[in-house]
Amino acid sequence: MKFVRFGPKGGEKPGLLDSAGRVRDLSAHIPDITGATLSPETLRRLSAIDVATLPLAPEGARLGTPLAGIGKIMCIGRNYREHAAETGNDVPSEPLLFMKATSAINGPYDDVAIPRGSIQMDYEGELGVVIGRRAKYVSQAEALSYVAAYTIIDDVSERAFQRDRGGQMTKGKSGDTFAPIGPWLVTADEISDPQNLRIMTEVDGEQRQNGVTADMVFPVAELISYLSQFFTLLPGDIIATGTPSGVAAGMKPPAWVKPGQVVTIRIDGLGEQRSRFVPDA
C-alpha cells in the first residue's frame, strides 16, 4: 500500500494511491495516518479494503507529509563512504546519530524556507525508514520486521549553521521546513530489499546525486538494531539513513542552493518529491 495525506496544511486527510496513481480518501476508515495506523493489525485491516470503493480525492489536491504525529527523526551521518570523503570526513566506526527537530517536518512539494543569515543551503536525499512497532534491544536478524514503511526524506542542511556556529549539528539541520517527507508512505511488503534502491537528486534538472542504498556503511537492519540498544523506537519514528555523494558541500566550488531553485529527489518505488527553496518570511 501507498499511503498519502492530502488537503491543506493542518487539515490533511488520510488517503491511499490506487493502481492508477489516483488518491483515494481513507477517512471513513481511519482518522489519520499515524504510528497507530502502522500496526500489523491495522495494516491487515486496511489491506482488505477494495480500493475502488473509496472516494477519489479532489483533483489536484495538495499532498502533505504522509505520516502525522512523528515522534523522533533520527538521522545517520556519513553512512556512505563517498559522501564522507567528499566532505573531508572519515567513515565512522559506529553509526553517527543526530536528531532533527519535528518542527522541521514539511510536505513533499511545499517550499523550503531559507533562514535569515543563511549562506550555505544544502540538500541530502535519503531513504526514510518508518518504525511500525515498539523496538528495544532487537537483533539485526529480526530488525526489518519492525519496519512498517519506507519514504523519501530530504535532510536539508545549512552548512554554516551546522559547522561554524558552535555546538553540535542540530541548528544546521532543524530549520523550519528542513525535513520534506514523502510523497508516499510505502508499506514494507512492497520493498523487497531496502539495500537495493537507487537515490537520485537534481537541482533545477541538473543531476547531483546518483547512489544506491547497497553502498550504505551500516545497512537498515544494523541501524535499527543499533539504535534500539540505546533507546526505544516507537511506531511512527523515522530513521533518515544517510545520503550518497553529490551534496552541494562536496562540489568544487560548493554549489549551494539559491533562492528559487528546485530540488527534486527520487527513490526507486517511493516516488518523487520536489521542493522550491525560498527566502524565509
The whole-number pLDDT of residue 182 equals 98
Collapsing DSSP states into helix, strand and coil, what is residue 73? strand
Q: Where are the domains of the chain?
A: 2-64, 73-279
The whole-number pLDDT of residue 168 equals 85
Average pLDDT over residues 34-62: 96
Cβ pair 250, 215 in contact under 8 A? no
> pLDDT tens, 111-157?
999 999 999 999 999 999 999 999 999 999 999 999 999 999 999 99
Alpha-carbon dihedral 273, 96, 71, 120, rounded to 10 degrees: -50
- Percent of the chain residues topping a pLDDT of 90: 95
The hierarchical CATH code for the domain 73-279 is 3.90.850.10
> pLDDT tens, 231-255?
999 999 999 999 999 999 999 999 9
Which has the minimum average pLDDT: 77-81, 86-90, 181-185, 193-197? Answer: 86-90
E strand or H helix at 162, and its extent? Answer: helix 159-164
> pLDDT tens, 7-33?
999 999 999 999 999 999 999 999 999
C-alpha to C-alpha distance for 201 and 146, rounded to whole angstroms:
28
C-alpha to C-alpha distance for 13 and 7, rounded to whole angstroms:
6
